[in-house]
Chain A
Amino acid sequence: MRRTTPGGKGIRGREGIAGWLFVSPMIIILGLFLVIPVVMALWVSLTNWNGSVNPFQGGPGAQFVGVRNYTDLFAKDGLTRSNFMQSIGNTFWYVLFVVPLQTALALGLALLVNTKMLKAKGFFRTAFYFPSVTSSIAISTVFLFLFSSTGAVNALLGAIGLGQPNWFSDSRGLVHLLLGAVGVDNPSWAQGEVLGRTLWDWFSGPSVALTVIIFLVVWTTSGTFMLMFIAALQDLPVEVDEAAALDGTSGWQKLRHVTIPMIRPTLFLVITLGLIGTWQVFDQIYVMGKGNPDGTTLTPAYLSYQQSFGNFKYGSGAAMAFVVFAIIVVLTRIQRWALSDKDERRPLLRRRKAVTR
């Protein structure tokens, strides 16, 4: 935007007013439906609002408690903290599995349907994209049947002679299972407590039940991200490909040193959207686990909902939401730093310098 001259007069003097006039509908709509609710929620997170009085009038049921809701989440020993920390732990593992898997799968599918040799591209694109446009509730319900103790997945596992876990009531973590296989079970070095949970609990890995949800989400979201990768791949200039071929690169070298660096902005977009989406997972949890078994499918988004509308602790629920917001911002910042060009990389924590022309 161009600054108006100090006097505001001159031939373009009224442009500013017109500009504001044109953007005002958007500002009002965004303000009304985005900024105000966020500010209101921030206020609620600083009160002990119980849902039955006006949260902005103060008094019993809506007292201002400062940052107590936030400090309680981290420092007060009790169920709220232990549930919240468990949900953070669960989601950490969930994100760690889902984001790389869905990004890799989406890129793989995109490369696949983007090859010149492939016939019936339209069909494959639709097929891969299909899970993404289906309702998450419907797909979750289908997965409930697929992974039930006598469902299709267990029938298949049984047919090839493998064990048949009781998917949705198995609370054992994958890392615990792996360690158990080599004879390590709750060793003494893992007894130290961090934020009210033992290290052993933090390193449990996703539970068997959560793994099913990881499968589901990877499968449903990779279609959307595939679409973004396809768009990026189709934008790549053919000459660079040809030049690489002339230089005698192998397929893998071309992917690693030519294609991926050129689609880095899209990669950034996909990982960012993935991070945001996974930290906010709710629908699948609501349908498939509601925290069971043994709290291993709790996520902050579900817990925040439960804390607000189930236990009428709206302040604490809102505080959880803002903590997750902070986590997402920090992770996105780190990821942006990690994906930036090495030459342009700035220190992570320092403010960016003003760009001089």
Chain B
Amino acid sequence: MRRTPILAVALAATSALALSACGGGGGFSSNSATQNSKSGPVKLTMMIGSSGDAETAAVKEATSAWAKKTGNTVEVIAASDLGQQLGQAFASSSPPDLFYTDASKIGTYAKAGNLFAYGDQVKDAGFVDSLVQSFTYDGKFYCAPKDSSTLGLQINTDLWKKAGLTDADIPKDWAGLETVAKKLTSGNVTGLVIGNDINRSGAFMKQAGGWVVTDGKMSADAAGNLQGLQEVQKMMKDGSLKFNTQTKPAAGWGGEAFGKGLAAMTIEGNWIAGGMKDFPNIKYKTVELPAGPAGKGTLTFTNCWGIAAKSPNQAQAVELVKSLITPEQQMKFADAFGVMPSTTEGLKQFGEKYPDSKAFVDGAAYGQGPVNLAGLDEVIGKFNSQLGTMTGTSGDPKAWLSDLQKNGTAALAG
């Protein structure tokens, strides 16, 4: 009992402090209906999740050209962990004005009121339709697609020839894929090595006519999804397919296994070009993914230029974005670090300039964008965590998919 006076005084003192601290926090505003705009030259902050120095330099060059022309200033920050840094920045009163936003995060960010929806101001830029869909949440087009990527099948041409295969053997369907993967598997080389999450196995689900979400509702229990995963597991059982974590030594991603010669084929996007710079001796080519029972299918990945709902400089930020999504500027980015443009016109130019990447460009027409509904992030995370443990003989894709369906439905219901 003797302690009571001390505690009481401490509490009184601290609660007084707390009150004054809260009173001071007047910097909050979350109004995304009207556009915030300061007049005169402003300083914009842009946070990017950069793939490397080449990308950072290219973004800095493009933004400083705009800054020079308009008299504003732009500071580019390359985040080491974009998702985490953005999460913390949104909780503060002054997040960066512009930032890369992954399509899978759109729902989560939009629902939390972190994004300024300016899609209407840029919708005439000629974006690929599936990309616009990826950044549309709850009927609103939120932000301008920055780039696009699709998955293709990379083939190590030396190993291909060594196994006695020719251009005629390039797989057109699952049966063809199984055949060549088996032929290419020998010793420590696995026919096909893919990443261990839905971002790779999902292509098989799509090819079998399934997908996790259809029209804003969970459809993980659709038959195509199971069929796709069973195909992956079947090839695993044959020994002709492995996840990147299952090779010896384990690889960080499919491209690493491919570069180290542990895999004769892998499934990656156009970023593979950058990854393969570390392995200049590997000769390879990219073809379209083989079709499944329901036809062709691939996955599309994309980022957009997100603008913060709390930014005081939204008008200027939109102007900057407009300068970054012109086909000319997107081609400059493509030249600098290999990303594909997000507009139909840009993609056409890209396909002409880089014929090796034709398979990626073709995929854009039928690619499936990521799941972008709010609250599904952790549900997909749980599914990935289960999928990663799959081997040829263990793991129950059916149970995982029904978990996914159950958890996803609960998450969407709020």
Q: A53-B30, A166-B245 are in contact. Are A312 and B382 (CB under 8 A)?
A: no
- Assess the A148–B250 pair: CB atoms within 8 A: yes
Which residue from A1, A60, A77, A310 sits with its C-beta under 8 Å from B410?
Answer: A77
Q: Which of B88, B113, B379 has the most CB of A within 10 A?
A: B113
Complex: chain A residue closest to B413, CB-CB:
A78
Q: How far is the CA of A149 from the CA of B242 in the complex (A)?
A: 14
Q: Is the CB–CB distance between A291 and B246 below 8 Å?
A: no
- Decide: A57 and B28 in contact? CB cutoff 8 A: yes
Interface assignment of B33: CB less than 8 Å from any CB of chain A: no
User: B261 contacts the other chain (Cβ, under 8 Å)?
Assistant: no
Residue on B nearest A209 in the bound complex, by CB: B389
Cross-chain contact A306 with B378 (CB below 8 angstroms)? yes
Identify the stretch in A28-36, A94-102, A127-135, A340-348 within 8 Å (CB) of chain B at 4 or more residues: A28-36
Q: Looking at chain A, what size class is its interface with the partner chain?
A: 35 or more
- Complex Cα distance A210/B170, Å? 42
A294 to B388, Cβ gap below 8 A?
A: yes
| Closest partner residue, chain B, to A61 (CB atom) | B113
B83 at the interface (CB under 8 A from A): yes
Alpha-carbon distance A240/B327, docked complex (angstroms): 86
Q: Contact between B25 and A54 (Cβ–Cβ < 8 Å)?
A: yes
Contacts of B389 in A (CB 8 A): 169-171, 293-294
Rounded to whole angstroms, the CA-CA distance of A50 and B28 in the bound complex is 13
B14 x A56 contact (CB < 8 A): no
- CB pair B30 A311 closer than 8 Å: no
What's the nearest-Cβ distance from chain B to residue A326, in Å? 20
Residues on B with C-beta less than 8 A from A79 are 378-379, 382, 407, 410-411
List, in ascending order, chain A residues with CB within 8 A of B83's CB.
310
A309 at the interface (CB under 8 A from B): yes
**B108 proximity list for chain A (CB < 8 A):** 311-312
Residues of chain B lying within 8 A (CB to CB) of residue A80: 378
- The answer to whether A71 has its CB under 8 Å from any CB of chain B is no
Q: Tell me if B168 is interfacial: C-beta within 8 Å of chain A.
A: no
Are the C-beta atoms of A31 and B14 separated by less than 8 Å? yes
Q: 1/0 per position for B103-134, CB-CB distance to A under 8 A?
A: 00000100111100000000000000000000
B-chain residues with CB within 8 Å of residue A292 when the two chains form the complex: 385, 388
The yes or no answer to A250 lying at the interface (CB within 8 A) is no
B245→A36 contact, CB < 8 A? no
Task: Give chain B's interface residue range (CB within 8 Å of chain A).
Answer: 35 or more
Considering the complex, give the chain B residue whose CB is closest to the CB of A164: B248
Which of B15-23, B142-150, B345-353, B354-362 lines the interface with chain A? B15-23
| Chain B contact residues, majority secondary structure | helix
- Which B residues lie within 8 Å of A40 (CB)? 18
A83 to B403, alpha carbons, bound, how many Å?
A: 12
A211–B82 CA distance with the chains assembled, in angstroms:
30
With a cutoff of 8 Å between Cβ atoms, the chain B residues found around residue A149 in the complex are: 246-250
- Closest chain-B Cβ to A280's Cβ sits at a distance in Å of 19
- Bound together, the chains give a CA A3 to CA B386 distance in angstroms of 63
Verify if A51 is at the interface (C-beta below 8 Å from B).
yes
B49 close to A (CB within 8 Å):
no
Interface bits B263-296 vs A (CB < 8 Å: 1, else 0) = 0000000000000000000000000000000000
A169-B245, A169-B246 known; A61 vs B385 contact (CB < 8 Å): no
Query: Could you mark each residue 71-83 of chain A with 1 if its beta carbon is under 8 Å from any beta carbon of chain B, else 0?
Result: 0000001111011
| Contact of B410 with A52 in the complex, beta carbons under 8 Å | no
A309 near B14 (CB under 8 angstroms)? Answer: no
- Within the complex, the shortest CB–CB distance from B109 to chain A, in Å, comes to 8
Does A165 sit at the interface, judged by CB under 8 A? no
Q: Which residues of A contact B382 (CB under 8 A)?
A: 79, 83, 295
Give the residues from 1 to 28 in chain A that come closer than 8 angstroms, CB to CB, to chain B: 1, 3, 20, 27-28
Most buried by A among B22, B88, B112, B411: B112
Cα separation A349 to B377 with both chains bound (whole Å): 42
Contact call B17/A52, Cβ cutoff below 8 A: no
Cβ of A159 under 8 Å from chain B: no
| Bound complex: CA A283 to CA B11 (Å) | 33
Pick from B14, B25, B385: contact of A291, CB under 8 Å: B385
Q: How far is the CA of A169 from the CA of B251 in the complex (A)?
A: 12
CA distance A294 to B385 in the complex (A): 4
What mask results when residues 85 to 109 of chain B are scored 1 for a CB within 8 Å of chain A, else 0?
0011011000000000000000010
Known: A51-B90, A78-B410, A311-B377. A27 touches B10 (CB 8 A): yes
Q: Report if A36-B90 is in contact (Cβ < 8 Å); known contacts: A83-B378, A292-B385, A306-B378.
A: no
In the complex, how many angstroms separate the beta carbon of B186 from the nearest chain A beta carbon? 19
CA distance A2 to B21 in the complex (A): 34
Interface residue A302 (Cβ < 8 Å from any Cβ of B) = no
Decide yes or no whether B68 CB sits under 8 A from chain A: no
Residue of A nearest to B404 (CB): A79
Q: Does B312 contact A (CB under 8 A)?
A: no
Residues of B close to A3: CB separation below 8 A: 2
In the docked arrangement, what's the CA distance between A166 and B250, Å?
9
Closest A-B pairs by Cβ, 3 of them: A31-B14, A309-B87, A150-B249
Could you jot down 12 A-B contacts, CB within 8 Å? A32-B17, A51-B90, A169-B250, A170-B389, A171-B389, A291-B381, A292-B385, A295-B385, A309-B88, A310-B83, A311-B108, A311-B378
List residues of chain A with CB under 8 Å of any chain B CB.
1, 3, 20, 27-28, 30-32, 35-36, 39-40, 50-54, 56-57, 60-61, 77-80, 82-83, 148-151, 166, 168-171, 291-295, 306-312, 314
B: residues with CB less than 8 A from A are: 2, 9-11, 13-15, 17-18, 21-22, 25, 28, 30, 83-84, 87-88, 90-91, 108, 111-114, 196, 243, 245-250, 309-310, 375, 377-379, 381-382, 385-386, 388-389, 407, 410-411
11 more A-B contacts (CB under 8 A) besides A57-B28, A78-B411, A169-B246? A27-B13, A50-B112, A51-B90, A52-B30, A54-B28, A56-B25, A80-B378, A82-B407, A150-B250, A292-B385, A312-B87
